[in-house]
A = this chain, B = another copy of it.
Amino acid sequence: MSGTTKLLNPFQIKHFNKSILKQLSTPDLLEKLNFVKKTQSGLFQYLPLSVRTINKLSNLIHTKLQNELGAVHLELGMLSPKKLWDKTDRWQKQGNELFKLKDGKGNDFCLIATCEEDITDLMGNYINSYKDMPFIVYQLNKKYRDEKRPRGGLLRGREFVMMDAYSFAATERDSMDMFTRTNKAYDSIFQTLKVPYVKAWADNGDMGGDLSREFHFVDKTGEDTLFECSDCHNTTTQEKTESLPQKEGQEFGNVDVKYGLSKDHNTLICYYFPEGRQLNWNLAVKAMDRDIDSNLKLLSNDKILDIFQKENEDIMFANIIRVMDCRINSRSNFPDFPFRNYLKNNFGQIDGVSIVDAVDREKCTECEGGVLNASKSIEVGHTFVLGTKYSKPMNLKFMDKDNKLDDNYVQMGCYGIGVTRIIGSLAEMLRDPRGLNWPVAIAPYLVSICGTEDNGVLTSQIKEKLNQSSILKDNIYQSFEHNMSLGARINVSHALGIPIAVIVGPKSWPNVEIEVRRKPTTVEKTQWKEIHKQKDQEYGWKVIEPSNPQHLEKHIVSQEHAQKVIELLLHDL
């Protein structure tokens, strides 16, 4: 090896068999194509192709947040001290999902999962008066969640890349304004991906606060369910969607039950609902909030029954609350109450609430006109109005116009985008029998040059040409494996999801063949069609439209105009 030998890329695909692609799950496909290497459940090494894809998506997010929203980029440390999480009571609450560790001095930390505590603590150093706000800060880095059942490859890992932003304002109005503006910046990010997405009103859940919106990709493999009204088009997540009964008190059949338990084990809540329906935990919590202490904590059915068995002998609840879904008739077939010792006086009852998940084709509760259409989806972004949920326990106040602190707690918002989750979702949603199929905005490379080793002179020549383009520079993929056929090279390019393949051979030279891997997303391919009309003679540009949808669109063009044509094609993809 001389000092000028090019070093190898050990992750280049060396052998390729197109036929196996279909059989692989998407996580396996990403591994087979050397995007990632899984080391343990939910943990991955990011190989060069996924690093490029992650970087492109990250850069897109940076640009939109900084230039369109005016957010400020900072990076928090990965080690978040327990003392901050204790203030918001989340060290215990989120406990099972946090990776926890101690340093040599015995201080407790967790690896960052979400950073409300850290950022609220930090910004306390820089907020004095109402004049210091409003602002939005954000970071984009790795986060950690010790999921019990990591799944779907990059969809739900234990280590993942996430953008998290936080807004700080003196008034609720400013805070709402920043929520709106951040949602708009998100729109701009998702629109650049040119992949359909849906916004849904969501429940704030554990995060707290008043208002929240989720950004979803609709896909049949998704774990989430969204409901969109056919009339008013109000879209909500399953947790948030109230199920409107056709008529109340009409269900005489079997009744199912799930239990809730207070922290001190003194209060038991029995949720009764028609057999065959699913209890909606979010609505169940809300039903309780109306009448009694919201400190009651819901536990899973299994856990309650487990506790029953352990404490069975002495159990005697101070309160037992029966929550009746509004569909149930009192003469329905109720399950037995599982305890022998109880006082009738300790029973209370809540009626007339809807506590089950909505289902497809039910009536919309928002407009009561349309019907709800259910669709499976993947959550990839979230925005929250938090109010003073974190500023209050962490005592983040500001001076008002009269130089008074009083109870001026900062109004906060938080916003997340799952970077690796988006990549995992798009791999899943857009793959086809040829392999992966990335949006132009995040494809690891924009164009590949496919030619055999024998045609090294020609491939070098076209590469040099394409490198002159500021768009294509550093975005050109070329395989250097000696023993690969031209067909295999083209197949690899398509499998990796590179939007454009340029095929070079001595027979057609000085013309090259351009295969468009990615399907155009815009309905009208206005730009290149217009220019093609004017330039077909000059560029030697022939278009071969696919005869059936399984074939790819092809363009034949003289090599000297290839750069211009590729740029035009990319613009419309």
Contacts and interface: CB of A to CB of B under 8 A. Distances in A.
A10 B79 contact: no
Contacts of A142: 78
B174 A1 contact: yes
A6 interface: yes
B77 A39 contact: yes
B72 A148 contact: no
Contact of A7 (B3, B40, B47, B69): B69
Contact of A8 (B48, B51, B100, B135): B135
A142 B43 CA distance: 17
Interface stretch (A101-109, A300-308, A557-565): A101-109
Given A3-B180, A37-B125, A148-B104, A72 B158 contact: no
29 contacts: A1-B177, A7-B70, A8-B133, A9-B72, A10-B127, A10-B137, A34-B126, A39-B77, A39-B121, A39-B122, A40-B81, A43-B77, A43-B79, A44-B77, A45-B74, A45-B122, A46-B75, A46-B76, A47-B74, A48-B72, A48-B74, A54-B75, A77-B159, A78-B78, A78-B111, A78-B142, A78-B159, A103-B146, A104-B146
A11 interface: yes
Nearest to A9: B72
A157 to B, nearest CB: 9
Secondary structure at the A interface, as helix, strand, loop or mixed, is mixed
A132 B78 contact: no
A76 B6 CA distance: 24
A123 interface: yes
Given A40-B81, A99-B101, A158-B103, A7 B74 contact: no
Contacts of A571: none
Q: What's the interface size class on A, roughly?
A: 35 or more
A1 B173 contact: yes
Interface string A27-50: 000000010010110011111100
B46 A74 contact: yes
A87 interface: no
Given A74-B46, A78-B142, A78-B159, A177 B3 contact: yes
A542 interface: no
Contacts of A127: 10
Interface string A291-329: 000000000000000000000000000000000000000
A208 interface: no
A422 B250 CA distance: 73
A176 to B, nearest CB: 10
A10 to B, nearest CB: 5
Lowest 9 A-B CB distances belong to which pairs?
A101-B101, A7-B70, A46-B75, A8-B135, A10-B126, A104-B146, A10-B135, A7-B135, A1-B174
A71 B8 CA distance: 8
A118 B46 CA distance: 12
A73 interface: yes
Given A122-B45, A177-B1, A6 B78 contact: no
A103 B98 CA distance: 9
Nearest to A14: B132
Contacts of A136: 7
Contacts of A125: 37
Contacts of A45: 74-77, 118, 122
A96 interface: yes
Contacts of A51: 73-75
Contacts of A159: 77-79
A384 to B, nearest CB: 18
A424 interface: no
A148 B103 CA distance: 10
A173 B5 CA distance: 13
A404 interface: no
A44 B75 CA distance: 9
Given A104-B96, A159-B78, A174-B1, A134 B73 contact: no
Nearest to A167: B7
A390 interface: no
A361 interface: no
A265 B159 CA distance: 43
A445 interface: no
Contacts of A22: none
A39 B76 CA distance: 10
A37 B135 contact: no
Interface string A490-502: 0000000000000
Nearest to A127: B10
